[in-house]
Structure 1
Amino acid sequence: MALQGHLWIAVSVFVFVVIFSSVTAKIKYRDDIYEPRVVSLGDGDKLEHELNRIRRESSKNNRGKMGVSDSHVEVHVNTFKNKNHKQAVVHWSGSDSNAIFLLTREVIDGVVNSSSLYRSLNYGVTFDEITPQNSVISSFFVDPNNYTKLIFADRKNRAVYVTDDEGKTLSGPHHTQFNPQRLVFNPILENVLLGYSYTQEQLFVSRDLGKTWKKLQDGADSRFFWFIPGVDTNNMTVHMEIADPVTGQMHYKACIIEWTESDNVHCSPLTDLSSALGTIAVESLVVQNEYIFVQKNTQRSAEMYVSYRRQPFKKAYFPQGLESVEFELYDTDEHQVFVAVRHWTDVLNLYLSDITGQYFVLSLENVVTMDFGTFSFSDLIEIKSTPGVFLSNVRTTYGIVTMVTYDKGGNWSRLAAADPKCRLPDCSLNLHMMYSSFKYSIPQGIFSKKNAPGIIIGLGNEDGYLNMQSKSNSYISRDGGHTWTKLLNGNYQFNILDQGGALMAVQPGVYTRHIQYSTDVGGTWKPVTLNVSLMIDGLLNEPGITTLVSSAYGHHQTGDYGWVVIQFNLTGAFSGKCTDKNYEHWSPGGEHACTLGERAVYQRRKQNADCYNGQDYERPINSSVCTCTVEDFEW
C-alpha cells in the first residue's frame, strides 16, 4: 500500500498466480522501503532505441563543468565509463548532509556480475570511487535511525561492508552465513536489523550493524515485519510467515527476539494471535499500522482475515457477493483500510473498511487493471501532496476516464479540464497511469510529493475519454486536483524542488540539449541548454525535495560513454531567500472545507514570488477538528 515516507518510494508488488481452478493468491501491498533509487541505462530511450546499440568503454570517472546558456543555473557533469554497467543505484543521505552514494552495476539474468561504488560529498559536483577491493557490491541499505550508517551487500561473495561515518571508512568484508539479499532495519533501534535469503529461506538477526549474524528462523518466507511503534508493545517483536517443516503449509508466527547470556538468540512466541488461525496462503502476511492481514484460500476463491490492534483474526466481509481472488492493500491510514479486490469476472473494485478493517463498503467499480498471471496491477495512485486524494482510471461503456476522490474514496468525480471549452460531463481531463504504460508504451507520469502541498503533475488529454492514440500533454494542479492548467505541450518527466518552489522538466525518449526549469510553479519556463546532446534516463533529486539541486542520469548519443550524471543547481535563478511576505496560506478544498474530519491550513510560497524556501525551511501546518457531515459517517 502506498504510505508516506521521506525517502525514495520503492514499490514492492507481491502478486499471485492462478493455477487451473484453484486459488494460490498473495495479498499484494505497496510499501515504502528505506533504500536507494534504481535507474536503468536506456530507460529514456527504450521505446525507440535498442539498448544494444549503445557502446561503452572502461575508463576513469571524468569530471567537468558543462557549458550552458543560462548563467543563473550552475551545472556540473560526471562521466562514468564503466563497461556494461547499465544500472545505477542512487542514494542521498538527506538531513544536513551533502553526501550522495552511486552504485553502477552490470546485471545479467537478475545477478550482479560487476559493480563500482562512488561517493560525493558536495551534492554531486564530484564523485570519488570507494569500491572495496575484490568486491561485487549488489546493493546497499541505510539505517533509517542514523543516515551515516550504511551496509553494502556483496551477494556474490556472501559478505557485507559496513560504515558508520557515511562512507569515510568501510569495515569488512564481514562474511555472512546467508546470501544477504534483503536487509530490514529496526524502526527505532540503531544497528539492529533482520537479514533474509530468498534462496535459503532463512531469517537472521544482527545487533552490530550487520557485522555478525544469528539465525532466527528456518523455513521463513519473504513476508516478515518488524514491530509497529505504538501498536506492538515490545520493540523486538517480529511478525513472520513460516513453513511447517513436515507439511510445508504456511503459518503466521509472532515472537520477541531475545539474546541469551551466551550470545545466542531465542524468539519467544506470542501465541495469542497465531494459535487459532491455522494455515494461511503463502506470501499473504501484511502488517501495517494497527492491522495484520493474512489470506486463506478455498478451491475457487480467497478470503482475507484481519487482526485489529492485535486482537484475534476475523474474516473480512465484502458486499455484492462476488468471489474474491486477489487483494491489494493501498492505504491503512486514518484508521481505515483502502483495498482493491480482483474478482473472477476480471473486475477490480475498490472498497473502504470500518475502523476494525473487517467490514467493507464499495468505493469505486471497474478500476482499470491488467493481469499477466505472475504480475498484475491496477490504475490507482495516492496523491502524496494532499491527504485523502487518490486518482484512478475506470472503464465505462465507451472508454476509460480518470476519477478523483478528495476524501479517500468516499466520493468520486471526474477531473475538471484545463480548457474551459472542455466541460463536464461530456469532456474532462484524463491522465495516463500504469495501463497506458504497459498496453500502449505511454510513460505514466503522475508526480506529487508530500512536501509540496497541493501540487499534482500528470500526463494526459482533455476529451470524453482517455485517448491512447493522440498526443498527450502535461498538466498541473496547485489545489490538490480541483483545478488544472496545461503545463507543457507533450510528454515530460518532472522533478519538484525546494518543497514546491521550483520545477524541472525533460523530454524522455529523445536525445536533447535542453532541460526546462520553472521558478513560478509552471507559470513560465526557461531552458538550460547543454553543449552536448544526451538521452536522459532519470531525473532525480533528494527525497525530501528541500534543495534546489537536481541530478540527471543519462548517456551520450555517440555511445562512447556509459553513465553521464549532471548536477543542476537552481539557487542562482532566484533573487534570494523568502521572507514572511512571500508566503500564503492554503487549505485543501478551500478555506472552509473539511476533509476526513480535519481542516488543514498549509503555508506555502506564493506562485510568483522571486525567492526560494531553502533547505532549513520548516512548513507550518495548522490542523483543527471540524464538524462532521453525513459523508463522514459509516452506515
Structure 2
Amino acid sequence: MIWRLVVLGVVCVCLVAAGEARRRGGRTVTFHRTQQQAESRGQVRTRPRRDTNSQTSSSSSSSSGASRLISHGPPFTSCRLTLTPAEHRVLDDNTHETGFNGDDGSYVILTWVGGGTGVVLVLSTISSPLDSFLDGGSSRLYRSTDYGKSFHDISSRINNTFVKEEFGVSVGPGSSVILTADTPVLDNPGGIIFTSTDAGATFKFTRLPFHLAQPITYHFLNHDYLVALSIDGGLWLSLDFGAKWTKVHDGVHSFSWGAGVNLFFSCSRVDAVEADERGDLVLKRTKDLGRTFTVIHEDVFSFGYIGAFLFFSVMEDSRSPRVMYFSSDQGDTFSRALLPSASTEQFYSILDGDEDMLFMHVDNPGDTFFGTMYTSDDRGILFTKSLERHLFDGQRKSDFTNVTSLRGVYLTNKLDTDGRIRSVISFNRGGKWRQLNKPENVDCSEQTKKCNLHVHGEHSRNNRIVPMLALTEPTAVGLVIAHGTVGDSLSSSQHPDVFVSSDGGYTWRGTLRGPHHYSILDSGGLIVAVEAQHEGQVKTIKFSTDEGHCWKSYNFTEQPFFFAGLASEPGTKALNVSVWGFRPEEDGQPMWVAVTIDFQSLITRECSDRDYEEWLAHSSEGKDSARRGCVLGVKETYRRLKKKSVCRNGKSFVVSKKQSPCLCTRDDYLCDYGYYPHPNTSECVRQPNSANKTLEICLDGEEDELLTAGYRKVPSDKCEGGFTPQLAVQTVIRPCGVKPTPGSPTLSTSPETVFDTPRERLVLILVCAGAGAVVLVAVVSALLAVRGVVYRNRSPVYRFSNLQIQEDNNCDNERENGTSSNGAACQHDSDDVSAVTIT
C-alpha cells in the first residue's frame, strides 16, 4: 500500500467585508493559493511514498518538492557570514524538534490558529478508502501554545474521531476552529463537526442534519455566521457558530458571501438537483440571512464575487455563447461586460480585482498559450487592453502576480512572437508594462543582445522547474523574492537562482544560487531559506537580516530529513519558523518531524527610531524632482527598517506612510476605446476602423450615445490639476425604441449612460486651456431636468461587444471545491465560477 502523507497549513487571516479594503470583497484575503503563500504561511502539502529507499517524494499541486535543476555556479557577490560559536549555542538552545510517529497517521495537517496566539494544531490521521467508508479511521490531534516548540496530545477532546482529509481543519476569524468528522452516509443522517472558539483549548460536538459537500464557509467578520452546502444541494445557514442549522434553499449549485450580510447563490429553477443544469440556473440574493430572496438573473451558467464586483455569465440563448454581466452594487443593477468578443474555443480568466478595478485575460483563438490582458474601469464594465501575448498555458495557469509590498505593481510573463517567454512588470496597475532590469550583480554573456531578469511563475512551478513563486508581503514594504534567470528570455535549461528586490521590482540583485524555499519573517526584518534538494535531505537553514545581501547558515538538526515545507505564523510578524519533513524509519514507516527555530533569541534588540528611515516609493529611477515617486497620482513615503539595522520590528509593528497628491500628467491617463497611443508622441489617436461607428445602448429604458476625445484616467489614480486632455463630450439620450431623427449627430464610439436624464437632450462641451481654466457650455433642448449624475464624475464607459465564453467541462476538482467565499485562489474561468484569483 502506498502511504499518503500530507502537511497542510491553514491560515487564520484577518477577514474583511467587501468594499472596506483592497481585494477583500466577498473573499478571504489570501493573495491567492500559490506556493509562495502556502510556504510562507504554513501551508504545504506533500505525499511522500512509503518506499523511502527511492529517496524521492511525490508532490501535490501545492508543494513542488524540489527543482530538477540544482545550481553549480559560483556564489553571487552577496556576502556569506559564519555563525559565531555563541550564536550557534543560542540557536541550539532555542531550536525544538518534535517527532510524530509514522503510525500516527497517513497524513498530517498543520494549522495556525489566530493571530499572535502562538497556537498550532497538528492533526494526524490513519485512513484508507476502506477505513473511511466502513469505520471512519482514527485521528490524533496535537496542540502547541508556544509557536510549535512543544506539542500536547489532545485527541481525547475530539474522541479520536476521524477527521476528513479533504476538509481538514477550518480556521476562521479570531480564534475559531472547525473540524469536520467523517461518518458513513448510509448509516448516518448527517455529519459531525467539532467547533472551538478558544483556539482549540476546548471543542464542542455537533451532529449536522446534513452531509457536507464542501468545507463550511465563514462570514468575513462574524465567525458565528456559517454557510454550508450539503451533498443533496441544500444551502444551510447557522447564526450561532454551528450549534443550530436552518436550510435556506434547495437545488443550490454554488454560493458566495458579498458585502455585509449579502449572500449570493445559484440554484436550479425547480429546486431539484436533477434539474441543476449549468446555463439554466437562477442567480439569487438574500440580504436578510435567508428570510427573503431576490432574483438577480436567470439562465445563469456561473457567477463569482471579487473585490466589490459581482459577475455572472448568462446563456441568453441555448445556441448562443454566454455573455458576461457585472454589478458593483450587490446586484441591484448590472451591465453587460464591455470586452472584445471571444469564440467558443476561447476562454477568459479574472486574474485579480479589488473595489476599483479588475484584471481579465481573454484567450487568443487556437492553442496559442497566450491571450490579451485587459483592465477595467471602476465599475467593472469598460475594459481597456493592457498587455498583448499574455502567457496562459494549456493547463489554464497564469504567471500573473500582484506585488503586494508596493501599491500598483504587477508582474507577469508574455510569450513573444519569437516563441520566447519574457517577464514584464507594471508599476501603474497595468497602464504600462516593461521588462525587468538586469540585476546589479549579474552580467550576461557578450552574445546576449538584451540582458534582463526573467522571473519564473506558475507555469514553471507546475513543471517543477522551481519550488516557489515570487513572494511579497504587505508588511515588508518594497521587498520581493523570486526565482529567475538572467538573459534574453526565461530559460528552462539554465538553473534558476533566487533574486531579491528591495524597491518593489525596479532594481534586483542575485542573492542565492539554485532553487530554494523561502519565507519572510518579522515584517521583512528577517528572511529564511532552505535549499530545494531533489534527491537529498535537508538539515540547514539560511537567514538574512538585510534583505538578502548577507546570509548566515545554521544546521538545525543532526539527522537530516526529507523536506516538506516551511511553516510560520500568518502575518509575517513572528520570528519563529518551523521546518517540516519526514525521516525513513527502520520499520519502513515515516517519522514526521517538526523543527521550530526561534530567531528572537538571536535578534534580541527591539528597533528604535534610529533604526528606521524615510523611503519614497517608486523613486528608484531618475526623474525630475517634481515627478519623482509619483505613481497613480500620489507620492508615498514609508517609514521602514534600514538594511544595516539588526533588530526586531516586533508584533506591534504597523506600516506607516505619508501621502501627497501629484500634478496630473499623460501617464495618469489611458487611451479610451477606439483610440490608441501614437508610437512617437503617446497622444491618443483614433483607430482608423472606429470612425463613424455608432452603437445605441438601452439602459434603464433609455438609449445613450456619447463622444469622447479618447482619454480616461487610470482607475485609483488620485492626481490633481496638471495635464487635462482636451475633451469634447456629447450625450444624446432618447427613450428606448425611438429612432434617431435625420440630422442627429453621428458618433464614433459607443458608450453607456453618463447622465440619468430622461427624454431630454443634453450636450456638454468641455474646452481645456492648458492646465488652467475650463470653459463649460451647456446647451439643453426641451426641459432641462437632470436627475443626477449616475456615473459620479468618473470616466465614460463604452460597450465593445458581448463576451463569449468557452464552456469548460474539464476543470479539476480543486476549482469545483474552491468557492470564491472561502479563500480559494485559483484562476477564475467564468464557466467554473468556484475559482477566482485574488493575489
State the TM-score, normalized to the length of structure 2.
Answer: 0.64
User: Which residue number corresponds to residue 37 of structure 1?
Assistant: 43
User: Which residue number corresponds to residue 519 of structure 1?
Assistant: 545
User: Which residue number corresponds to residue 256 of structure 2?
Assistant: 225
User: Which residue number corresponds to residue 21 of structure 1?
Assistant: none
Matched residue of 1:160: which SS? strand
1:616: how far off?
Answer: 1.7
Q: How does 1:260-409 map to 2 (within 5 A)?
A: 266-271=290-295, 274=296, 277-281=297-301, 284-297=302-315, 301-309=321-329, 310-319=331-340, 325-333=346-354, 335-346=356-367, 347-372=370-395, 376-396=396-416, 397-409=418-430
CA distance in 1, matches of 2:373, 2:320: 21
CA RMSD of aligned residues (A): 3.2
What does the per-residue CA deviation read over 1:132-183, in whole Å, with 9 as the maximum and x for residues that have no partner? 1141122222231x22x22211133610011122222112143342226321
| Residue segments in structure 2 that go unaligned for 5+ positions in a row | 1-17, 60-84, 185-190, 621-627, 673-839
User: Which residue number corresponds to residue 242 of structure 2?
Assistant: 210
Q: Does 1:485 pair with 2:514?
A: no
Q: Does 1:99 pair with 2:119?
A: yes
Q: How does 1:414-433 map to 2 (within 5 A)?
A: 414-418=435-439, 419=441, 421-422=443-444, 426-433=450-457
| Closer, same or farther: CA 459–499 of 1 in aligned 2, 3 Å | same
CA distance in 1, matches of 2:514, 2:328: 47
What does the per-residue CA deviation read over 1:373-427, in whole Å, with 9 as the maximum and x for residues that have no partner? xxx2212111121121111111111411111111111110101111463499711
**Is the 8 Å Cα contact of residues 319 and 362 (structure 1) preserved in structure 2?**
no
Q: Does 1:120 pair with 2:144?
A: yes
By relative contact order (CA 8 Å, sep 6+), the higher-ranking structure is 2
Q: Does 1:577 pair with 2:606?
A: yes
1:351: how far off?
Answer: 0.5
CA distance in 2, matches of 1:269, 1:616: 43
1:547: how far off?
Answer: 1.4
**Is the 8 Å Cα contact of residues 100 and 123 (structure 1) preserved in structure 2?**
yes
The range that moved more, 151-160 or 517-526, is 151-160
User: Which residue number corresponds to residue 718 of structure 2?
Assistant: none
What does the per-residue CA deviation read over 1:310-342, in whole Å, with 9 as the maximum and x for residues that have no partner? 342221122487778423222222511111222
1:572: how far off?
Answer: 2.7
1:499: how far off?
Answer: 0.1
Matched residue of 2:300: which SS? coil
Structure 2 counterpart of 1:458, which letter?
Answer: A
**Is the 8 Å Cα contact of residues 92 and 101 (structure 1) preserved in structure 2?**
yes
Q: Does 1:79 pair with 2:109?
A: no
What does the per-residue CA deviation read over 1:70-123, in whole Å, with 9 as the maximum and x for residues that have no partner? 223221011111438454332223434121122234576797854332210111
Q: How does 1:62-77 map to 2 (within 5 A)?
A: 70-73=88-91, 74-77=94-97
Matched residue of 2:463: which SS? helix
**Is the 8 Å Cα contact of residues 306 and 358 (structure 1) preserved in structure 2?**
yes
**Is the 8 Å Cα contact of residues 105 and 116 (structure 1) preserved in structure 2?**
yes
User: Which residue number corresponds to residue 168 of structure 1?
Assistant: 201
Q: How does 1:403-482 map to 2 (within 5 A)?
A: 403-418=424-439, 419=441, 421-422=443-444, 426-439=450-463, 441-482=465-506
Q: How does 1:494-533 map to 2 (within 5 A)?
A: 494-508=518-532, 509=534, 510-529=536-555, 530-533=557-560
Q: Does 1:201 pair with 2:233?
A: yes
Matched residue of 1:286: which SS? strand
User: Which residue number corresponds to residue 706 of structure 2?
Assistant: none
| Residue segments in structure 1 that go unaligned for 5+ positions in a row | 14-30, 54-66, 230-234, 259-265
Q: How does 1:133-172 map to 2 (within 5 A)?
A: 133-138=159-164, 139-144=168-173, 146-147=174-175, 149-156=176-183, 158-172=191-205
| Closer, same or farther: CA 52–600 of 1 in aligned 2, 3 Å | closer
CA distance in 2, matches of 1:69, 1:42: 34
User: Which residue number corresponds to residue 252 of structure 1?
Assistant: 283
Structure 2 counterpart of 1:221, which letter?
Answer: H
User: Which residue number corresponds to residue 632 of structure 1?
Assistant: 668
Matched residue of 1:531: which SS? coil
The range that moved more, 593-602 or 361-370, is 593-602
**Is the 8 Å Cα contact of residues 160 and 176 (structure 1) preserved in structure 2?**
no
The range that moved more, 597-606 or 101-110, is 101-110
The range that moved more, 467-476 or 377-386, is 377-386
CA distance in 2, matches of 1:163, 1:440: 38
CA distance in 1, matches of 2:163, 2:559: 31
1:217: how far off?
Answer: 1.5
User: Which residue number corresponds to residue 588 of structure 1?
Assistant: 617
Q: Does 1:565 pair with 2:594?
A: yes
- Structure number with the higher strand fraction is 1
CA distance in 1, matches of 2:637, 2:438: 26
Structure 1 counterpart of 2:614, which letter?
Answer: H
Structure 1 counterpart of 2:287, which letter?
Answer: I
| Closer, same or farther: CA 303–180 of 1 in aligned 2, 3 Å | closer
1:3: how far off?
Answer: 3.9
CA distance in 1, matches of 2:206, 2:333: 44
CA distance in 2, matches of 1:101, 1:380: 32
Count residues with an aligned counterpart.
Answer: 575
CA distance in 1, matches of 2:42, 2:607: 31
User: Which residue number corresponds to residue 263 of structure 2?
Assistant: 238
1:537: how far off?
Answer: 1.0
**Is the 8 Å Cα contact of residues 46 and 58 (structure 2) preserved in structure 1?**
no
User: Which residue number corresponds to residue 656 of structure 2?
Assistant: 620
State the TM-score, normalized to the length of structure 1.
Answer: 0.83
Structure 1 counterpart of 2:216, which letter?
Answer: L
1:611: how far off?
Answer: 1.0
CA distance in 2, matches of 1:121, 1:444: 29
Structure 2 counterpart of 1:104, which letter?
Answer: S
CA distance in 2, matches of 1:294, 1:344: 23
1:580: how far off?
Answer: 0.1
Matched residue of 1:71: which SS? helix
User: Which residue number corresponds to residue 554 of structure 1?
Assistant: 581
1:209: how far off?
Answer: 0.9
1:219: how far off?
Answer: 1.0
1:244: how far off?
Answer: 1.8
**Is the 8 Å Cα contact of residues 101 and 591 (structure 2) preserved in structure 1?**
yes
CA distance in 2, matches of 1:420, 1:377: 29
The range that moved more, 550-559 or 524-533, is 550-559
